[in-house]
Amino acid sequence: MKAVKRIAGSTAAFIKKIWMQKQGRIGLILLTLLALVAVFAPLIAPYDPYDVAQRADKGLAPSLEHPLGTSITTGQDVFSMLIYGTRVSLLVGLITGISIALLGSVLGVAAGYLGGITDMLLMRIVDVMIVIPTLPLTILITNVFGKSYVVIVLVFVLFGWTGLARTVRSLVLRLKNADYVKSAELAGAGRWYIMKTHILPSVSHLVIMSTALSCAGIMIAEAGLSFLGLGNPTAISWGKMLAEAQSGGSMLFGQWWTIIAPGIGIFISVFAFMRIGLAIEGILNPGMKGKNGMNKLIKHMGNRYLDEVLSSMEDAE
């Protein structure tokens, strides 16, 4: 019970810290809104896009009945699809982001702190996995094991932890030689105790930041996969809405709203996570605030490794 209370307390304090930053406040507000929309989608959406009986004529223009018109391929209400699409995007993004954070930090700490053969093995695995191109690999695996979000999340997690693990490992290697860890060792503290009380808390900020950023990156990747038709074929997602609008000829008939709507959905959700990531970076690195956070973010989203972030943190110290 005590532990739960402590964790809850520190989480609340951390969220408050994020809230104190302008960046973080925007992100938190947007994220809360999105989460509410996702949870209460059936209440907010005027129609049920999964219900075949509620489909109207195909490709209707926006009107009072259908605020964003109807889809050109099936006649579902676009506004309702947009609201239901929040579910897939947020769910895939959050589950994958959090699993990557858990796996990456545990394996990174293990490699850095235990050293020896564990370290060697893990880093060799990382070396191999980082080379394989992610998108083609995901396509191949969905081909072999079937198209579903479960498979996509599994692939993202299994091949996405490598960058974080590497960064956490190098941070742990530096912490390991810090005086307070050395003195804890001398005082006779056990390995698990040191890991739990000294190493993990220092790593946690970095991990939380990378979670926010990898959620953002994964939402974009998920939209891309759904756009290619590799997501769950029956689910409604923003990427699939874009693909249907494109293949159905929305552009040919001038129905730009069916393309803009899911695009804005993707933008808002990615934007929210990016703001939170930036805010945490500001907390980690007060000196660097606003200077080149954006730059590091771009690099991170591009190649999913936090190496640059870490090296610039070293420069700052």
Partner 1 sequence: MKKFYVFKRILYTLLVFAAVVTLCFFIPRLGVDDPAARYYPAQGNMSDESYELIKELTRKQYGLDGSTWSQYTRYLGGLIRGDLGNSYRAGSPKVWDLMAERLPWTLVLSVSGMVICLFFGIVIGTHCAMKRGLWQDRALMNASTITTAVPSFFIALMLTYFLGFTLEIFPAYTDQNLVSSFDWSLKSIGSVAYNAALPIISTAIGGIIGNAQGIRNSVIAVTGEKFIVTARAKGVKRRGVLYKHVLRNALLPVVTGLGMSLSGLIGGSVVIEQIFNWHGMGTLYLEANNTNDYPLMMGIMIFISGIALAANLVTDLCYCLLDPRVTIGDKR
The site for partner 1 (CB under 8 A) is made up of 127-128, 131-133, 135-137, 139-141, 143-145, 166, 170, 216, 220, 223-224, 227-228, 242, 246, 251-252, 254, 256, 259-260, 263, 266-267, 270-271, 274, 291-292, 294-295, 297-299, 301-303, 307
DSSP annotation of 187: T
Helix runs in the chain, H state only: 2-20, 22-39, 41-44, 78-109, 116-131, 134-145, 149-176, 179-186, 191-194, 200-227, 238-248, 257-284, 293-303, 307-316
Q: CB of residue 234 vs partner 1: minimum separation in angstroms?
A: 19
Q: CB of residue 161 vs partner 1: minimum separation in angstroms?
A: 16
Cβ-based nearer residue to partner 1, 51 or 127? 127
Q: Residue 106 is encoded by which pair of tokens?
A: 């545990």
Q: Is 56 helix (H, G, I), strand (E, B) or coil?
A: coil
Cβ-based nearer residue to partner 1, 149 or 273? 273
Q: CB of residue 38 vs partner 1: minimum separation in angstroms?
A: 18
Q: CB of residue 301 vs partner 1: minimum separation in angstroms?
A: 6
Q: CB of residue 133 vs partner 1: minimum separation in angstroms?
A: 4
**Per-residue exposure over 129-164, b if at least 16 CB sit within 10 Å of its own CB, e if not:** beeeeeeeebeebbeeeebbbebbbebbbebbbbbb
Cβ-based nearer residue to partner 1, 116 or 133? 133
State how far the Cα of 75 lies from the Cα of 127, in Å rounded to an integer: 48
Cβ-based nearer residue to partner 1, 98 or 220? 220
Cβ-based nearer residue to partner 1, 153 or 245? 245
